[in-house]
Amino acid sequence: MSDFGNNYELKNTWSFFQRHWKLLTIVLVVAFAVSLVASLLVTPRFKASTVIFPTSSNRLSKAILAERYSMDYMDYGSERDCEYAIQILSSQSMEDDVCNHFNMMEHYDISNDNPHKLYELHERYRSNVSVRRTEFLGVEVTVLDVDPQWAADMANFIAANYDTLCSRVHHARAIDACSIMEDVCREMEADIRVLIDTLSNNCSRVDIAELISNKTKELAALQTRLTQTRVDMGKQVSYKFWLDQATPADKKAYPKRAIIVLLGTLGTLAVAIFLLLLVDVKKKDE
């Protein structure tokens, strides 16, 4: 009984294709031709990628100047540093720097008279630029563009500009920190001078001598921190290890014409079969 049911279904299917094979063949050929033409009309885009490893978030001066060299300035960054790097590389500040440097409004052919020009610029940029974390805590920057050299230049600029943005943030923070520490150092130096004068008038006061010693140690530690901060302000350091620089691609990454043609053809054929089945069912009901 089960075999009969299967044969019956196969007979119906065979009968369906016998009745409509001409129409389905025409649909198949037309869908193939249209999909092929559509895939040829899509502007090809080339991909360029660069990979960096963020350095440790500890300041370079702290690693070098700290007592006993307690930190390794060659350390790779942690997962937290990787997330920080992704945030900076994907930031609006980075996007603005890239768009200004490469004049992306003109490159994307966006008119200055367009009332939504900034929105379109950001949408185009974000659809062509992506930042992701690699398996081993690296960060990959990928750029798609119609010009392979342009894509490579953009990817490399983004990686290089990462140092600029990090320095910009850290420098602003360091200025505030220096100002505060300089004020505190002056206050501590004044306190120590007062204590020394007091001690000279009261030579037997052991507690004052101990207080001067403690204050002097605190001042020395704070002056070390101040020196480290000034080093950070005065030196342009790299916040990354640059593993792979982007190079111009010699083969397009998009579109995949074979996939477009295959999906377009099979999709159209499936819709045609579905519509013909509906027509057959409607005829039987009538």
At 173-221, the pLDDT tens digits run: 777 777 888 888 888 888 888 877 776 766 656 677 778 788 888 888 8
> Residue 91 has what DSSP assignment?
S
Has residue 120 got a pLDDT over 90? yes
Residues 193 and 229 occupy one common structural domain: yes
| Amino acid at residue number 273 | I
pLDDT at 2 over 70: no
Same domain, 123 and 182: yes
In a shared domain, residues 215 and 100: yes
Number of domains in the chain: 2
Tell me, yes or no, whether 259 and 207 share the same domain.
Answer: no
User: What would the two tokens of residue 99 be?
Assistant: 């768009």
Which band of pLDDT confidence, cut at 50, 70 and 90, is reported for residue 70?
very low
- Does one domain contain both 230 and 163? yes
Across the chain, which distance is largest between two alpha carbons, in Å?
120
Are 270 and 220 members of one domain? Answer: no
By C-alpha distance, which of 245, 238, 249, 248 is closest to 51?
A: 245
Of 16-20, 163-167, 239-243, 262-266, the range with the lowest mean pLDDT is: 16-20
The reported pTM is 0.66
CATH number at residue 55: 3.30.1890
Position 168 scores a pLDDT of 81
Both 248 and 279 in a single domain? no
Q: Provide the domain limits for residue 18.
A: 1-42+255-286
Are 132 and 102 part of one and the same domain?
yes
Residues 180 and 75 reside in one and the same domain: yes
Domain identity same for 21 and 115: no
Closest-CA residue to 91 (of 59, 129, 60, 56): 129
- Residue 180 shares a structural domain with residue 237: yes
Q: From CA 259, how far away is CA 35, in angstroms rounded?
A: 10
Residues 98 and 203 grouped into a single domain: yes
